Structure 1
Amino acid sequence: MPDDVYRQLHHALKSFIPESRMATDPLRTLAYGTDASFYRLIPRIVVRADNEAEVAGILRQTGEKNIPVTFRAAGTSLSGQAISDSVLLVAGESWQQWEVLDGGKKIRLQPGIIGARANGILAPYGRKIGPDPASINAAMIGGIAANNASGMCCGTAQNSYRTVDSIRIVLADGTVLDTGDEHSRAAFASTHGPMLARLDELARRVRADVPLADRIRSKFKIKNTTGYSLNALVDYSDPFDIITHLMIGSEGTLAFISHIVYRTVAAPPFKATALMMFPKIDDACRTARRMQDLPVVAAELMDRASLRSVEGKTGMPAMIQGVSPTTTALLVETQAADFATLSAHVREIADTLEMPMSTRSVPGGRTHEWQLAGAGMDVPAVFTDDAGRSDSLWRVRKGLLPSAGAVRRLGTTVLIEDVAFPIHSLAPATLDLQALFGRHGYREAIIFGHALAGNLHFVFSPDFGIPAEVDRYARFMDDIARMVVDVYDGSLKAEHGTGRNMAPYVEKEWGSQAYGLMGEIKTLFDPRGLLNPGVILNPNPRVHLENLKPLPPADPLIDACMECGFCECHCPSRNLSLTPRQRIVVQREIARLTASGDDDARLAELKKGYGWQGEATCAADGLCGVSCPVDVDTGKFTKTFRSRQVKGQPYQWLADRAADHFGPLTAGIRTGLSAADRLHRRIGSEAMGRLTGVLRRLSGNRLPAWLPSLPTAAAPPRGRSAGRGDRAVVYFPACVSRTMGPDPGDPLDAPLHEVTERVLRRAGYRVVYPERMDGLCCGLPFESKGFFAQADRKSRSLEAALLRASDNGRLPVLCDTSPCLERMRRTFGPRLTLFEPVEFTACHLLDRLTITRTEDPIALHITCSARKMGLDKAFMTVAEACAETVVVPYGIECCGFAGDRGFNVPELNSAALAGLKKAVAGCTAGYANSRTCEIGLSHHSGIPYRSIMVLVDRCSRG
């Protein structure tokens, strides 16, 4: 398509979509050219559409100009269905509306809602959505429905096709249809009557062709996402019902899904889980087949190579270590509405499988075990209803893909395929699959999957940078197609969608007649073939071998990234600049261009753009590492990137001076805060904002931004031991709480260190302070800017001071600021016992205080550092002990203030907290445990945010 056509489109789109929601520059189009698959296409225009009217307008404009368009939600697709070399329409975080219907029996969801969020909404009703893909914590509803994603427990009975009630779509011509609304159906019938008639004729023709209809029914008895959902033509006769179900699994090639109504399924609260070990894979497969008619919701198969990939990992059960080369495991789970039924389920499993069973209550009586023996298992299997042990067993299964991805060779691609077989063929098919790996030299491959559905996943790591490897992969895929289709009549894509990856094999699996029917469906909905072209139906027999994504080495900190996108929903800059995945995509391309020397101009442009898009707007909070399957912390990479920028003079000299004169530096900050507060009181907020805004613009944004919630100066801590309690604790007020007091006008005008000391003494603690406290720092301000040597120097000095104050570690140490405490835990040795405020309060203070709960609703912000330390439950324990109503805004994890970044790049803080004010409406105050985070939270919420120690102080005064 000529460049001028895209320029015309861009100009037309600007008439109703802000430029800030479009991207045409090389950096951002490159960043959006990647999904979770192993393909890359760089779009010409990326558009973030915020509503249905915008989608319709975009489709009308692209239709008029004959320009292809692809839809994208989270971009976690594995088969290349969420990328484009034309227009990429992104429907993400603006599509968050939902409505629970019929007391939880149904739910209406927009496409930008993450699957796990939908289940969280339904949890109070004891319900959930049917699909349960492994990516449910990152995948959005639009992609879950468009790919007919299933998962470990839903099988074919509870996938999107079986549980969709109605759907609202925008067609290629911009027409909106809601199949659950009578008025919409009537309007559509009046404008698109011929289309409905043609669809009715297609369905009648298929149902009249008995062999074809039977073939379609047979194909969907097992998981199948190869091609379109032809079962809609035999399962339904009403054209609107047919449309509803054709949209499921259509991968954005027929229409845009603007909302979907699901019939929900029960979410039983009682579960029992066991890991069964069998001597051979066919033993495990035969047992899984016998479980099909039992109350078993999951039977996850794992071959020996899978177990080997995780057996050395922390927390893995000992029973998977050192087993024989042919050992295969089944992870089995049963669920029930009550304990008696759960116990009966386990008994039924044991009786049917002819396994002797014994039962015991675990000491304490709160959890139970059922031991099953025999039936050819290597060791007895133990069903447990203990949530912790169950999670440990599931970590075996969930750790397979991350482990395979983490140990792959540098530059190779993590490739995960999924196929399905009739359950009676699962055992021989699995053996044949293993033989295929050996024949093609993929000896590192692992096999696992959902045995109850006959669904196998296999993972291996080819190097697509080598032409011979591409040829080997092509031969392997041809053999897979022959084996799955010709030998076992299975599905080449069970749940990951056809995409580009399996498009060349759709006709082979379905035959020419059914394949022709799919072409008719595509033409009926998309006559000009503009919606996601090349996906599902593609005449190019080598499309699965083209546009392969390069994965050159860029930095050891990020090279393990699989570009799955699981990190993106946690990133505070996701709606402002780049996400962690996109930062890595850009860095890999910079590394590739640097090594090849091909395009110096493009390289320079990417490096220049990355300065703001990648580095300046990264909060470096590390939450991406928490959610990453292979533990890639892009925040850590950003800090390393900054360290390279600040090498040499004058940066190092300035950092050394700041580190060596930290006491005077903090005193200077107090002076500045006092001066700013006096000026603010004198001229008012409006004039202060104008004045500081002008000064910031004149400085080229080098001066920090002023916020009305900028704290007053804190009086320095006395630094003397206080109290006469029967217990003692070393209290280290972080530098931010030693310098920053409450917000201007806050009636709670005591600085945090005074409040904390007051609570400690009230609980009977003697408070011990480290000596020469003004010069102490954990090093975090230096680390975040890339001054690692200075950060470590400050950290060592603080550790030595705390060791002296704590009698060489005898006394516990409390730091009142979560990010500082997190760094102390990372860098200190084992002698010190370190506590963060909520942790110390939950463990040591609540039972020594008389708490009166406040009736005022409060908001809670669990800082990113607290999340990384696993303190979410402690936060809730303290907050719920002090308040009747606690609101934790969904989707706001890192506030984006990031130390001083909220002053220097205030756009990041604004983007991260865009929905905060609405989420905390009705709350009287908010609480956190980082003073700088509280500045931004107060500014963007309209309510004061304070340390959670202030809440404990307020509620324990009596």
Structure 2
Amino acid sequence: MDTKTASEQVTLYTDEQTRRLYATDASSYQELPEAVAYPKNTQDIIDLIQYARANNTPVTARGAGTSLAGQTTGNGIIMDIGRKMNRIVNIDARKQTAHVQPGVIRDTLNREAAAHSLLFGPDTATTSRCMIGGMIGNNSCGLFSIKHKTTREHVLEIDAVLSDGSRATFKPLSEEELQQKMELDSLEGDIYRQMVSLIRDHKEKILANYPHPEVIRRNTGYALDRLCEMEPFTEGGRPFNLAELLCGSEGTLAVTASAKLNLVQRDPHSILLTPQFSSIRAAMEATVEAVKMDPAAVELIDDIILDATKNNIEQKKNRFFLEGEPKAVLIIQFDGDDPNQLRAKAQELGDRLKTLGLSSSSPVITDPEKIDRVWELRKAGLGLLMGLGAEGRTPTFCEDTAVRVPDLPDYVDDFQRILDKHDSKCVFYAHASVGELHLRPVINLKKEKEIEKMKVMAGEIADLVRKYRGSLSGEHGDGRTRAPYIEKVLGSEMMPLLKQVKQIWDPQNLLNPGKIVDPKPMEADLRYSPSYRPPEVNTTFNWRREEGFADAVELCNGAGVCRKLADSGGTMCPSYMATKREKDSTRGRANLFRQLFSGRQAEAFQSEELRDALDLCLSCKACKSECPANVDMARMKAEFMQGWHEENGISLHERFFGQAGTLYPLASLFPKLSNWMLKQPVVKELLQQWIGIDKRRDLPAFATETFMDWFSNRSNTNRPTSNAEAGRSVVLLIDIFTNYHDPDIGKAAVQFLEATGHRVIVPEIHELGRPQLSKGMVDHAKQVLDQSLPVLTNYAEQGYPIIGLEPSELLTLRDEYLDLCDDDQLPAAQQVAEQSVTFEEFVASTLQTNSPPGTSNKVYIHGHCHAKALIGNTAVEDALQAAGYETEILQTGCCGMAGSFGYEENHYEVSMDIGELTLFPALRKLPDDALICAPGFSCRHQINDGVDRKAVHPAELVAKSLTT
């Protein structure tokens, strides 16, 4: 990796991979930086800024990179403060304050604060990964801004590094303290002297031109109007505090090194009202009524977002509160101490909306788990929008406007007239309670005419905002997108003042230049533009859902959900959770895919930097469901590795794991000898050197009798009689792991199936291509498909259920086969997919009407990643409950083994680190005699290696229930 040193402590990474990873954020822009740095403390920030001054190189501070207006892209040094400066220094419960470094994730802070019944109020849709430094930079607000206002109201102090490398702490100052600051012979002193002079000279002009004071969320330009409200400019005003100016300054004035935050008490009870509307106008009129009743939040979701949730694996389960096909829905939350009062308030508002003829349906939700699910759907809105595909993209050029709440209905009508004028449609959603809607017209940036239309519309919308005395940006900031239109909103008199502020704080124009003042044209450096070249490559997968590989590599929108940590729940992205490196996130890998394939086309299949970024991808499939855009990185990795292999061949290591089925029959001839040899240190050492199997792992033992031998050798006296023979036939797929390592699981499955009246057919199919796919041997997987599909189709045509014991194997039929098959094979593949079920799904459906005697045992379930991503954990829970067990699903992510991944020498440490994120700690808390269920073969082995506990397959538990 190419590096250079900014000082003795700080390293600048200048290699192409790292620079590409930081070329984009969640906005429409892409700029290749000169270098990337990861400061670990305030001194590192100082050293970086001093280096930048000496070399006249811009510096852009960046947290999670979820900014939507291009604030965190730049062509100089990108300073990633989230990687190492992420410590909560302290939480003072008595004073209700928190002292944090800028890389602390908002949800992480709130998990710690929750122990004291406290929270940091601003609640953006990105709280699982957004960082306090970024929230300060954008003055973030979020869902509950009518209650908690903005980040600015909760920042008590900011310890900052100024543009000359000096330090300063900004906090409320008395008149005496302010005078002392103005007397300093330093850049800090200059800032105080000149800022006080600027406000004193221009106060009236500022207040006359800035957004209406009733607009809570106003981030247009620098917050000079806030300073005007303070002493000494307004008698009785707040103490002078430049920290309020830094909030929303987008890193253009100073760099936050740490911050002291105000925390607030949590309300003990919440309730939701979800009125549903036939028009956006009706929803806006309802908002005006709702805010009169002191809600904690009023959020709008329109039909475009609601429609997008229908096909999203993760979000379609959260649609439970919808009735019919509404044009719009409001999510209204009331918080307080008395749940009865909250219910009465919600009912009163619902009745009021019905009386006014605005909404005839206003469901009330009181269950905390269901309330969380509604908010999950709302928070997914942005990512869902950004994943609508090329024809449905909604660039963020005007999505952040805010007006007074009473003006919302008329403002929306005027906005719609602009849309109609330009023959455009728009998404309407978000923070209705404070007059801010995310209005996102559909624009295809790959077309020159569409870009011109965007620019014209941006100007007209800015004029509209000016008409209502609103804010061009309510929280997402000006950045590169809106900065060119600030003058239209604030007026030409304000622009010299904004430029003067930048000059006062940053005379050399080093800190994040081109944001807020002196921007490039909004169409410069677009990620997608008329000059963008989509990939034109031959692929082995057909990419049917995405309508081509080109669209697949463009799916990622930069929202960064894959950067959430394990404590936030879910599985995506396990390698990022363990390493905290951008290259190990789904977003990082997707960015490399897009940049490399759009530039080098088929040559990108030989990219060392992309191969390196994919190395720690476990192909867990979590991104396929948890990513709002449903990026399937497992499939993209397989496709890339197929292309890599075509040029470079397949290594011995990859063949060993990808074609284990060819080796297993030989090893199983002498199982005792094979098992003895695999435990010998010298053999382990050789396997590590030759094949890369980490010697700290024990390979699975071979059974003394394979399942297939047992099944074929059973005598008639051991077979069930008339009940099973007369029953409905089922096909049981026995994968190589069950056959050679865990035949007892197959036996248990047969026992259950026959006991419940089924004739069991076991075809000579032990592979469906999963090992080959995991190693990027996609052409080999296609050969497996060609051999297995006709056999399985024959069973499917007869209506036989096709049952699998290993989730990843069985789900290959319902996932990859539909994209791996040829067009003429697609009907057969679809028919097989429809008949294919996991063992747990079959049990759950069978025992609904055929329940055996139950047990009183409790079972703790660790779900399989592929199953969680594609079908969820419900089937396992339902099957075991139907068999009489009490169940608890463990809140665990990926186990870290992921097939062969955890056995490999270069992955062992990461594999165990992933296990330690959630799985191992959860298992250690269980009673010693706890029953642990894990449907996945590799999961069970990781559990054994990680915590020395035995986990069993659901088939074993279900079969056991038959005899208890």
Answer yes or no: same fold by TM over 0.5. Answer: yes
Select 2:854's aligned residue among 848, 852, 856: 848
Q: Which residue of 2 aligns with 1:898?
A: 898
Residue 14 (structure 1) shift: 7.9
Residue 484 (structure 1) shift: 1.0
Q: Which residue of 2 aligns with 1:571?
A: 573
The AA in structure 2 aligned to 1:59 is: I
Q: Which residue of 2 aligns with 1:625?
A: 624
Measured in 2, the distance between the counterparts of 1:62 and 1:648 equals: 42
Q: Which residue of 2 aligns with 1:819?
A: 808
Residues 275-324 of structure 1: per-residue CA shift (max 9 Å, x gap) = 23256x5444333223222133333345677778779997768988678x
Measured in 1, the distance between the counterparts of 2:629 and 2:125 equals: 15
Residues 463-513 of structure 1: per-residue CA shift (max 9 Å, x gap) = 33444433332222222222211x111101111111111222334433566
Determine whether 1:294 maps to 2:284: no
Residues 1:802 and 1:248: Cα distance change in structure 2 (over 3 Å) = farther
Residues 1:319 and 1:252: Cα distance change in structure 2 (over 3 Å) = closer
Percent of aligned pairs sharing the same letter: 20
Q: Mapping of 1:519-538 within 5 angstroms?
A: 519-538=499-518
The AA in structure 1 aligned to 2:270 is: F
Moved more, 121-130 or 528-537: 121-130
Q: Mapping of 1:602-681 within 5 angstroms?
A: 604=603, 607-610=606-609, 612-644=611-643, 665-668=663-666, 678=676
The answer as to whether partners of 2:58 and 2:77 remain within 8 angstroms in 1 is: yes
The AA in structure 2 aligned to 1:502 is: R
Residues 1:836 and 1:60: Cα distance change in structure 2 (over 3 Å) = farther
Q: Which residue of 2 aligns with 1:55?
A: 45
Question: What SS does the aligned partner of 2:74 have?
Answer: coil
Residues 1:350 and 1:897: Cα distance change in structure 2 (over 3 Å) = closer
Measured in 2, the distance between the counterparts of 1:883 and 1:160 equals: 45
The answer as to whether partners of 2:93 and 2:116 remain within 8 angstroms in 1 is: no
The answer as to whether partners of 2:731 and 2:762 remain within 8 angstroms in 1 is: no
The answer as to whether partners of 1:41 and 1:83 remain within 8 angstroms in 2 is: yes
Alpha-carbon RMSD across the aligned residues, in angstroms, is: 5.4
Residues 631-684 of structure 1: per-residue CA shift (max 9 Å, x gap) = 2323223223344556799989x999999x986632345689977864675548
Q: How many residues align?
A: 873
Q: Which residue of 2 aligns with 1:599?
A: none
Residues 1:336 and 1:723: Cα distance change in structure 2 (over 3 Å) = farther
Measured in 1, the distance between the counterparts of 2:293 and 2:470 equals: 23
Q: Which residue of 2 aligns with 1:708?
A: 696
Residue 404 (structure 1) shift: 5.0
Determine whether 1:586 maps to 2:592: yes
Q: Which residue of 2 aligns with 1:367?
A: none
Q: Mapping of 1:681-692 within 5 angstroms?
A: 682-683=680-681
The AA in structure 2 aligned to 1:425 is: D
Residues 770-822 of structure 1: per-residue CA shift (max 9 Å, x gap) = 66688523431133331342343576489589989x9944xx9572x443344
Determine whether 1:140 maps to 2:131: yes
Determine whether 1:164 maps to 2:155: yes
TM normalised by structure 2 equals: 0.75
Residues 53-88 of structure 1: per-residue CA shift (max 9 Å, x gap) = 433433333233332111222211110011111111
The answer as to whether partners of 1:756 and 1:949 remain within 8 angstroms in 2 is: no
Moved more, 408-417 or 635-644: 408-417
Q: Which residue of 2 aligns with 1:947?
A: 951
The answer as to whether partners of 2:679 and 2:698 remain within 8 angstroms in 1 is: no
Measured in 2, the distance between the counterparts of 1:783 and 1:769 equals: 32
Select 2:142's aligned residue among 143, 151, 155: 151
Q: Which residue of 2 aligns with 1:225?
A: 219
Q: Mapping of 1:363-512 within 5 angstroms?
A: 373-377=354-358, 379-385=360-366, 405-407=386-388, 409=390, 414-415=395-396, 417-441=399-423, 443-485=424-466, 487-511=467-491
Residue 29 (structure 1) shift: 1.8
Question: What SS does the aligned partner of 2:273 have?
Answer: strand
Q: Which residue of 2 aligns with 1:275?
A: 275
Residue 895 (structure 1) shift: 5.2
The AA in structure 2 aligned to 1:944 is: D
Measured in 1, the distance between the counterparts of 2:264 and 2:858 equals: 40
Measured in 2, the distance between the counterparts of 1:847 and 1:47 equals: 62
The AA in structure 1 aligned to 2:360 is: V
The AA in structure 2 aligned to 1:42 is: L
Q: Which residue of 2 aligns with 1:749?
A: none
Residue 838 (structure 1) shift: 14
Residues 1:243 and 1:770: Cα distance change in structure 2 (over 3 Å) = farther
Q: Which residue of 2 aligns with 1:700?
A: none
Question: What SS does the aligned partner of 2:628 have?
Answer: coil
Residue 916 (structure 1) shift: 5.3
Q: Which residue of 1 aligns with 2:248?
A: 249
Q: Which residue of 2 aligns with 1:789?
A: 782
Measured in 2, the distance between the counterparts of 1:493 and 1:887 equals: 42
Measured in 2, the distance between the counterparts of 1:709 and 1:180 equals: 55
Residues 1:908 and 1:445: Cα distance change in structure 2 (over 3 Å) = farther
Residue 41 (structure 1) shift: 0.7
Measured in 2, the distance between the counterparts of 1:669 and 1:566 equals: 44
Determine whether 1:342 maps to 2:338: no
The answer as to whether partners of 2:606 and 2:643 remain within 8 angstroms in 1 is: no
Residues 1:451 and 1:645: Cα distance change in structure 2 (over 3 Å) = same
Measured in 2, the distance between the counterparts of 1:821 and 1:191 equals: 74
The answer as to whether partners of 1:504 and 1:543 remain within 8 angstroms in 2 is: yes
Question: What SS does the aligned partner of 2:332 have?
Answer: strand
Question: What SS does the aligned partner of 1:334 have?
Answer: strand
Q: Mapping of 1:916-955 within 5 angstroms?
A: 917=916, 924=924, 929-933=935-939, 943-944=947-948, 946-947=950-951, 949=953
Residues 1:388 and 1:173: Cα distance change in structure 2 (over 3 Å) = same
Q: Which residue of 2 aligns with 1:45?
A: 35
Measured in 2, the distance between the counterparts of 1:386 and 1:43 equals: 48
The answer as to whether partners of 1:821 and 1:835 remain within 8 angstroms in 2 is: no
The answer as to whether partners of 1:104 and 1:264 remain within 8 angstroms in 2 is: no
Residues 1:228 and 1:625: Cα distance change in structure 2 (over 3 Å) = farther
Residues 686-732 of structure 1: per-residue CA shift (max 9 Å, x gap) = x955x555x35xxxxxx223231233413145545899999999986
Residues 892-927 of structure 1: per-residue CA shift (max 9 Å, x gap) = x445543224445x5456446547558757964997
Please, which runs of 5 or more residues in structure 2 have no aligned partner?
Answer: 233-237, 536-548, 565-571, 818-831, 927-931
Measured in 1, the distance between the counterparts of 2:647 and 2:54 equals: 56
Residues 1:438 and 1:915: Cα distance change in structure 2 (over 3 Å) = same
The answer as to whether partners of 2:150 and 2:217 remain within 8 angstroms in 1 is: no
Select 1:78's aligned residue among 46, 53, 68: 68
Q: Which residue of 2 aligns with 1:834?
A: 838
Residue 244 (structure 1) shift: 3.4
Q: Which residue of 2 aligns with 1:600?
A: none
Residues 414-449 of structure 1: per-residue CA shift (max 9 Å, x gap) = 3352101122322222111111122233x2223334
Residues 1:389 and 1:42: Cα distance change in structure 2 (over 3 Å) = same
The answer as to whether partners of 1:276 and 1:331 remain within 8 angstroms in 2 is: no
The AA in structure 1 aligned to 2:865 is: C
The answer as to whether partners of 1:761 and 1:767 remain within 8 angstroms in 2 is: no
The answer as to whether partners of 2:733 and 2:765 remain within 8 angstroms in 1 is: no
Q: Which residue of 2 aligns with 1:743?
A: none
Please, which runs of 5 or more residues in structure 1 have no aligned partner?
Answer: 1-5, 356-372, 596-602, 697-702, 741-751
The answer as to whether partners of 1:273 and 1:390 remain within 8 angstroms in 2 is: no
The AA in structure 1 aligned to 2:479 is: G
